Amino acid sequence: MMSMLPPATEAEAARALTVLKQQLADYDYHYYVLDAPLVSDQEYDGLFRQLLALEQAFPALITPDSPSQRVGGQPADGFDSVQHRQAMLSLNNAFSQEELEAFDKRIREALELDQVNYAVEPKFDGLAITLTYEHGLFVQGATRGDGYTGENVTHNLKTIRAIPSRLPTESPPALLEVRGEVLMLKKDFERLNQQQAASGGKLFANPRNAAAGSLRQLDPSLTAKRPLHFFAYGLGASEGAPVLRSQDQAMQYLADLRFPVSTLRAVKTGAAGLQDYYAMIGQQRSQLPFDIDGVVYKVNEFALQETLGFVSRAPRWAIAHKFPAEEATTVVEAIEVQVGRTGAITPVARLRPVFVGGVTVTNATLHNEDELRRKDILIGDSVVVRRAGDVIPEVVSVNLDMRPADARRFEMPTQCPECGSHVVRPEDEAVARCTGGLICPAQRKQAITHFASRRAMDIEGLGEKLVDQLVEKQLVQHLDDVYRLTLAQLTGLERMAEKSAHNVLTAIAHSKQTTLARFIYALGIRNVGEATAKDLAQHFGSLEALLAADVASLMRVNDVGPIVAEATYQFFQEPHNREVIAAMQALGVHWPEQSPSARSQHLQGCIFVLTGTLPTLKRDEAQALIEAAGGKVSGSVSAKTSYVVAGAEAGSKLEKAQQLGVTILDEQALLALVQPSASDTLLTLVADDTASEYSPLQPDLF
């Protein structure tokens, strides 16, 4: 163990601390990442005490990357929200060899290649997080959240010694986001539950729940006592990082920076190579030190990933191949129905509690009446229940040999259990629906929550718990009632201080200034998502034109088929829906409109990339203008890019555009290009300083 005399000066202390921090970081790496300790615990503790003594004598020398700062800060009242620079979205799943082969076939056909190389690795069963490093220093860590906004858990993540506090390089990138998974090793999970049992504490159901609960402790000192681990699986946003051409290069780069990465990662060719890897990992699954629920395949070359792009909320170039779901047998004790946001009546089996897929299951979806009849499920039956990953548990089959004599048939209700309205089953549909619309309490709560969500009207603070209170106290019965709320009403609610009430009212007021696409999406029309809402807004130009459209007119909209057209038409034909919409407009909800004839598609086929901070436009506003003119926005620069719109502090995208000779625009040039009257159209938009922050189109995964 290193011994040292007390430094006489601050300069000497600084030099000694530099040596100690580097030495302790090296020991942490070998212990927590390589599982190959270099020194005994006693020697490590001795060095750590020397560091603490120096920092106590010279407190001005304490830095954020010091090992002493891993114990965490003061307990927090709650977690702040973090807007992800690049969205953290999930992958599509494959559950069979046929689905795997179909994935590989789609990739080969899209790329016009005979075979494709894939980067492969186990799919960790943990909690997805993102780590942000600025000039090599770990400055922020956040959970995945909804993919666009997560929770700031920086202090808790600092307690995980497998995560570097500072990148071990002389020339770190100006910005580097590392994506990965926080988890708990099986042996640590067992030890933790033993400790919980000995102290009379609550036992955790599985390592994933233990890891998630530990990371979301408001007191970082409690997190520090939990044995959490971390594995990196990819990169997010970066500035000044080396040029990496493939996923395996990115993983090696992370390994070189001393991040824990899977030693089971590999590069495989074609469907046969993927299937062999899947089988190999499946055989090793039970012996691995951590839980996994499948394997992940990604097209290895980044250039090919860019060519393939994305579909909906998932990349075309990657897929998660899940292991067969775990199954168990239990008894159906009752069958009830749940009412969804759109009025869908779903039968649900209430089960005798059974442990399956890592959790205790008490409910399972029966999907719809046809499925219930097809499987011949009766109340009292013994059934096989399946749970695959985070998928809602479902009843797979009935054991007819165990059917009791008093088993009884379930009948779908003719009246909604929530509001008493008539239940109907539309022709050619498998789902029965409540006709109560916005008067149904079940639909009302979910409709208001959806209406206030970030991608809809973006009313921050109006979440599920507050909506529950507003509906239960009958302060909000219809969407327009949101805009009638008063300070006195809000402060009278449970756990609603005056400041919080003011914040909610401010968010409600700001939400009145929106876009037609957001408003359409916020209405919660069945089968109308963000993309369809945007298409409807662009096609009709105004709400009045949309309200007057018949089914035939709606089907002329891009990607709108008969089901969506009929659902949209029926929604706007309901008098109470029109009344609520008119009431919201009367209360000040508005958006810039334009007639269909004024819309131009002159940028059809043009691909734009946005980088840096524009003087007045937020990124989603700039994106909306480009798309309204027929253009598309991409998250990365390539030879196919038509224009790069650059603002202040533009980074590597601008440099790449200059190298490729791509035309570069500033905000003024963009406005002139998209449409002559764009600046007038934006007067309302840019005034809204609470519009949703931009979420780049190219998401990170898992």
Question: Any idea which residues carry the catalytic annotation?
Answer: 123
Token pair of 609 as six digits:
């990339």
Reported for 574-583, long-range contacts at CB under 8 A and 24+ positions apart, including other chains, are 574/437, 576/437, 576/438, 576/439, 576/478, 577/437, 577/438, 577/523, 578/547, 580/438, 580/478, 580/479, 580/480, 581/523, 581/543, 583/478, 583/480
For CA atoms 583, 584, 589, 593, give the dihedral sign: negative
The rounded distance, in Å, linking the Cα atoms of 274 and 267 is 9
At residue 653, what are phi and psi to the nearest 5 degrees?
A: -65, -40
| Extended strands (E) in 584-697 | 607-611, 632-634, 643-646, 663-665
CB-based contact 124:285 (threshold 8 Å)? no
The rounded distance, in Å, linking the Cα atoms of 454 and 367 is 28
Token pair of 86 as six digits:
């690049």
Contacts of 492 (CB under 8 A, 6+ apart): none
The rounded distance, in Å, linking the Cα atoms of 502 and 486 is 9
Helix axes 562-573 and 575-586, enclosed angle (nearest 10): 70
Region of residue 450 (phi > 0: left; psi between -120 and 50: alpha; otherwise: beta): alpha
Token pair of 176 as six digits:
């580097």
CB-based contact 314:92 (threshold 8 Å)? yes
Reported for 496-499, long-range contacts at CB under 8 A and 24+ positions apart, including other chains, are 496/466
Of 341, 359, 313, 294, which is closest to residue 96 (Cα–Cα)? 294
